[in-house]
C-alpha cells in the first residue's frame, strides 16, 4: 500500500516538474510496472537537478523512503 502512495507522489512531482517546464510528461505505456514506468522520467529529472556535491545516480525515492527487512522476514517501508 505504501508503495502505491509513493508511486502516486512521484507521479505528481513529475507532473508538476513537466508543467513548470511547460512540457508534456511522457511515460512508457506498456511498462511492466509503475516503477519501470516512472524510472526514466525520474532519472531525467535527477540529471537536470544534479549539481556540485550531488550524487547523480541517487533516485528521488531513495531520499524519502527505504525498505527494511524485519526479523520475521517481512518488509517494512518507511
> What's the predicted TM-score (pTM) here?
0.59
Boundaries of domain holding 63: 2-77
pLDDT digits (tens, 9 = 90+) for 35-62: 889 999 988 888 888 766 555 444 444 4
Burial of 3 (0-12, 13-18, 19+ CB in 10 A): middle
Quote the pLDDT of residue 24: 94
**Number of separate domains in the chain:** 1
Partnered with residue 69 across adjacent β-strands are 75
Question: Can you tell me the distance from the alpha carbon of 31 to that of 23, in angstroms, rounded to the nearest whole number?
Answer: 21
Amino acid at each position: 500500500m505504501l508503495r502505491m502512495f509513493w508511486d502516486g507522489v512521484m507521479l505528481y512531482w513529475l507532473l508538476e516538474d513537466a508543467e513548470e517546464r511547460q512540457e508534456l510528461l511522457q511515460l512508457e505505456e506498456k511498462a511492466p510496472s509503475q516503477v519501470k514506468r516512472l524510472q526514466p522520467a525520474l532519472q531525467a529529472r535527477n540529471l537536470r537537478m544534479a549539481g556540485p556535491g550531488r550524487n547523480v545516480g541517487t533516485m528521488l525515492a531513495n531520499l524519502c523512503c527505504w525498505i527494511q527487512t524485519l526479523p520475521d522476514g517481512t518488509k517494512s517501508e518507511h
